[in-house]
Chain A
Amino acid sequence: MKKIIITALFILATTLLSAASIGGRIVDANGRPVAGITVGVDKIKSVTKTDADGKFFFDNVKPDYYNIYITHPEYGTTIQRVKVKRNFYYEISIDKAVYETDPAMAHYNGTLFSSDLAITQKDIQTYPGRGYGDSMKLLQSLPGVGGGFTLATVPIIRNTDTLYNKYYIDDIPIDYPYHYAAGVVPLLSSINETIVDSVSLHKADAPVWTGDHLGNTIHITTKSPEQTGYHTRILLDPLYPAMPTVYASAVPTKDFSVVTAVRRSLVDYMVDTKYTDSYFSDFFAKAAWNVNIDHRLTLMANISSDDFTYGKIFTKSGYSLYALKWDYLITEKLLLKTAVSRYEMSQYLKNDKAVRGKSGAYMNYAPVQSRLFQSIHFDLSRFMLSGGYELVNHSEGVKGNIDLAGLTSGGLLDKSSEYTTTEFPIEGTNISLFGDVLADFPEFWVEMGGRYENNGVIKDNLFSYKGEAGYRFNRIAEFYLIHSRSNAQPDMYYFMQLDNAVTSGGAASSDSSVNNFKAANAINTSVGNKTFILPSVFFQGEIYYSVFDNLNPGLLISAEEDSYRKAMQIHPFSEEIDGTNLGMELYLKGYYQRYSGWVSYSISKTERSNAYDDSFESEFSQNHIFRALGAARWGKWEPSLQFNLYSSLPYTPDGSDEKNSDRRGIHHRLDGKVNWYMADNMRMYLEVWNMYFNQSNLVTEYGSSNTLIYDAPFFLWVGMELCF
């Protein structure tokens, strides 16, 4: 009897505890009740409909967590997770549903894939390689693109000096969109992920409207708003260099849109140090206005700056770019493009410590490029004609109170240099004319273009050209042959060696060969194939051969240590002058259901010569580069992996006749990333680098230094993205 009573009491208590319910009221955006909405509760598998007052009710539910499904064809499906303790009642507002999907890509060439080799913002989000905020790191996964070490950010394209890469932001040229540590070590790109729509790569086949490169150009297409109204994204990278990005887009009218992104490192605010201080910041804004159906004006500003202070030593580097673009469709078959831009690059170094009674050494490098560009494109059915001109006026230059020789040998730092006046302008106007004819037939195409440039800075006439012929097979495969010649005019580091440099305390360089400066040039030939093996699987294979001349007129900065050469990436340590490249690249990209990824492999051989050695391997050479990337999506989770295998860079000891071909090692490592899409407006990610790696030393025991250089060890960080 006693047991029965206890059992009855237990049952009573259980029943009472279980007597929970879920109820609520559904209203529309105006607060009016909505009748006839289906409401379901997952664990009890029960459904009901809202009554005339928009109310629903479920009784006899257990205290627990439930997913409540609110469904109606007009309003879509809303799922809410609730915790029911006893009687749960709430009111929910729903809007009429507008269904969406990923942006539909309308390629002008009528194919599903872009004709360019590119990475997209989605790729940067999905795959490891974004690093600590570097949106262009992933370029190194494309075929023919090397990178020196885990944190290397500047892409080495087909074993050529990175100084010859030319960047374009929405068709506006820019030399080096990177942030620097201490003014000299590129750490991350100044184009942050939120504004990147895609970054495409031309390898030895840059279009003739571009100039100042050896055929390799990197084109950054910035994001246009893909949502109406006003939206904000905040991207948080909590680890160094704690650098939140705030992105905002606005589409106030159908013909006007604005995107803007601001990023700044916060370490200097968070950590108060006595002797060191530094920050990076960048800003981007783009406003596009469709004046009418055929005219579009785009105003763009991109400002990057970094400061680094160590005691009395101070460096400041960065650039500012302002551009106004006007695109005008004159008729359906005639397009006019116009762009006006101003680009100023700045490198400022100063040692404030007074020496021998003087106020301190400084060097300020701030050349300005003002550019006017116009091109016209004429559709003649099977033929496409395009042509135009480009005027680039160079002004300003270099000023300092120490001689360049002192600067390059470290005189600024140890104050050993003689105080003098160094001042030389970088002046002149480059006038370029270019034209291109494309004959495009269903089964084949032929394109020929040329560019003539009167370079007022180096006082030389330059001619470049590009010819391309191809055959299409059933619109799923094409075979092509490209032959081109490109010229690269001197950039900021080369300018410092010009013979028009006016120095009163020393030569601009110790190498007299700079007095006969000529532009570098490359003659590139490649044959290849692009094939859609399946509608969702794309293959590209290419064999190329390049011949280079006048690659480098002389050394500006000496660096015996490979670690310096490695870290500085784009600085002119290389002494290579003439040479050749021969290589093959394979690329396979595709997706299947929830899986996506690509594989690239490059094999190459470089030969270089200089005044000391008539045959050595370029120090930018990586004979084998293999990358494999894969990602999968399971609900809210998106894991991805990137496997890298490549030859280490054979850095060349300057001024030495030592060959370096036996100093390469195969380096391989595995990086990973997991995206967790917590909600529609929130993403968290974990990125892990060097999960597995072998031979972390890139170069070992060369010459007499026996230097062992280590790559970065295993490391990881967590980031978060919030959208509003």
Chain B
Amino acid sequence: MKRSILTTLVFLFAACSPGYYQLQDKVNGSTEVLNYEYTNSYYVSELRNTHFTVNVLLLEPYVVSFPQKNFGKVHSSGEIDAVAICDVSIRADGSVENYVIKKSAGVGLDRYTRELLNSMKFKPLSYKGSDYPSKFRIVLHYTK
């Protein structure tokens, strides 16, 4: 019985190579803190997950304000359907830095495209709690 217990303990000890219970955090230098927390089994899983998520999760930018305006009354009456494709550079504060129209909607709609892009607001790209500039491709579909 004693031998069996001893054998089991030896097996468990040996099988647990350091790579499996120590988090090799080479990003933030917080290995010690995390390793300390690892010894408290209650927090291990949650901390590991949080640490991993914080490092790999990147919150993509998105449009938070897209002003709907009454515009293009003649386009509406003429039932003009058009698509514009634009690449927008977004600052870290979510404002539009500049843009390039990659596909023009035509029929005089480019002026509305510029107007819309200039008044759009974005949630900037966010990574590890900080905001970053980014590039965003937006497709504007003009329709009745």
Verify if A347 is at the interface (C-beta below 8 Å from B). no
The smallest C-beta distance from A171 to any residue of chain B, in angstroms, reads 7
**Which residues of B are found within 8 Å of A110, using beta-carbon distances?**
68-71
B102-144 toward A: CB 8 Å interface, digit per residue (1/0)? 1110111010100010000000010100001011111111111
B85-102 toward A: CB 8 Å interface, digit per residue (1/0)? 101000000000000011
Total contacting residues, chain A, CB less than 8 A: 85
The smallest C-beta distance from B33 to any residue of chain A, in angstroms, reads 15
B85 in contact with A228 (CB, 8 Å): yes
CA–CA, A3 and B23, complex, Å: 33
A334 in contact with B74 (CB, 8 Å): yes
Nearest neighbor of A438 in chain B, beta-carbon distance: B77
Verify if A38 is at the interface (C-beta below 8 Å from B). yes
**Which residues of A are found within 8 Å of B116, using beta-carbon distances?**
106
Verify if A18 is at the interface (C-beta below 8 Å from B). yes
Extra 18 A-B pairs, beta carbons < 8 Å, given A38-B55, A99-B134, A251-B102: A4-B10, A47-B27, A47-B52, A49-B26, A60-B18, A71-B56, A71-B57, A76-B58, A77-B58, A99-B60, A99-B137, A101-B138, A106-B140, A106-B141, A108-B142, A110-B70, A332-B108, A379-B77
A104 in contact with B77 (CB, 8 Å): no
Q: For the complex, would chain B's binding face be called helix, strand, loop or mixed by DSSP majority?
A: mixed
Nearest neighbor of A10 in chain B, beta-carbon distance: B11
B46-67 toward A: CB 8 Å interface, digit per residue (1/0)? 0011011001111011110010
**Which residues of A are found within 8 Å of B15, using beta-carbon distances?**
11, 14-15
The smallest C-beta distance from A37 to any residue of chain B, in angstroms, reads 11
Verify if A103 is at the interface (C-beta below 8 Å from B). yes
A4-15 toward B: CB 8 Å interface, digit per residue (1/0)? 100100110011
Nearest neighbor of B28 in chain A, beta-carbon distance: A47
Verify if A254 is at the interface (C-beta below 8 Å from B). yes
**Which residues of B are found within 8 Å of A49, using beta-carbon distances?**
26-27
What are 22 A-to-B residue pairs whose CB atoms are below 8 Å? A4-B3, A15-B17, A40-B52, A46-B23, A47-B27, A48-B27, A73-B127, A98-B136, A99-B61, A105-B143, A106-B141, A106-B143, A107-B144, A198-B143, A254-B102, A255-B104, A255-B106, A290-B107, A293-B110, A295-B106, A328-B107, A329-B74
The smallest C-beta distance from A567 to any residue of chain B, in angstroms, reads 35
Q: Which residues of A contact B (CB under 8 A)?
A: 3-4, 7, 10-11, 14-15, 18, 38, 40, 42, 44-49, 58-62, 69, 71-74, 76-77, 96-112, 114-116, 170-171, 197-198, 221, 224-228, 251, 254-255, 257, 288, 290, 293-296, 327-329, 332-335, 337, 375, 377-379, 384, 386, 438, 440
Q: Which residues of B contact A (CB under 8 A)?
A: 3, 7, 10-11, 14-15, 17-20, 23-27, 48-49, 51-52, 55-58, 60-63, 66, 68-83, 85, 87, 101-104, 106-108, 110, 112, 116, 125, 127, 132, 134-144
Nearest neighbor of B112 in chain A, beta-carbon distance: A106
B136 in contact with A290 (CB, 8 Å): no
A104 in contact with B55 (CB, 8 Å): no
A108 in contact with B85 (CB, 8 Å): no
B63 in contact with A103 (CB, 8 Å): no
Q: Which 6 A-B pairs have the closest CB atoms?
A: A60-B19, A108-B76, A290-B106, A329-B108, A69-B56, A103-B139
**Which residues of B are found within 8 Å of A73, using beta-carbon distances?**
58, 125, 127, 132, 134
**Which residues of A are found within 8 Å of B75, using beta-carbon distances?**
108, 335
Nearest neighbor of B102 in chain A, beta-carbon distance: A228
The smallest C-beta distance from A596 to any residue of chain B, in angstroms, reads 18
Nearest neighbor of B61 in chain A, beta-carbon distance: A99
A104 in contact with B85 (CB, 8 Å): no
**Which residues of B are found within 8 Å of A62, using beta-carbon distances?**
20
B141 in contact with A103 (CB, 8 Å): yes
B68 in contact with A251 (CB, 8 Å): no
Q: Knowing A49-B27, A73-B132 touch, does A100 contact B137 (C-beta < 8 A)?
A: yes
Q: Knowing A73-B127, A251-B102 touch, does A377 contact B77 (C-beta < 8 A)?
A: yes
A108 in contact with B103 (CB, 8 Å): no
B108 in contact with A48 (CB, 8 Å): no
A109 in contact with B20 (CB, 8 Å): no
B141 in contact with A38 (CB, 8 Å): no
**Which residues of A are found within 8 Å of B3, using beta-carbon distances?**
3-4
Nearest neighbor of A100 in chain B, beta-carbon distance: B137
Nearest neighbor of B74 in chain A, beta-carbon distance: A335
A99 in contact with B125 (CB, 8 Å): yes
Nearest neighbor of A67 in chain B, beta-carbon distance: B56
A38 in contact with B56 (CB, 8 Å): yes
Q: Knowing A61-B19, A171-B79 touch, does A42 contact B52 (C-beta < 8 A)?
A: yes
A221 in contact with B143 (CB, 8 Å): yes
**Which residues of B are found within 8 Å of A290, using beta-carbon distances?**
104, 106-107
B74 in contact with A77 (CB, 8 Å): no
B24 in contact with A48 (CB, 8 Å): yes
**Which residues of B are found within 8 Å of A294, using beta-carbon distances?**
107-108
Most buried by B among A11, A60, A97, A104: A104
B106 in contact with A104 (CB, 8 Å): no
CA–CA, A375 and B140, complex, Å: 25
**Which residues of A are found within 8 Å of B140, using beta-carbon distances?**
103-104, 106
A97 in contact with B17 (CB, 8 Å): no
CA–CA, A386 and B138, complex, Å: 32
CA–CA, A49 and B51, complex, Å: 14
CA–CA, A665 and B62, complex, Å: 50
Nearest neighbor of A222 in chain B, beta-carbon distance: B81
CA–CA, A257 and B74, complex, Å: 23
A96 in contact with B103 (CB, 8 Å): no
CA–CA, A508 and B136, complex, Å: 64
**Which residues of A are found within 8 Å of B125, using beta-carbon distances?**
73, 99
The smallest C-beta distance from B65 to any residue of chain A, in angstroms, reads 11
**Which residues of A are found within 8 Å of B76, using beta-carbon distances?**
108-109
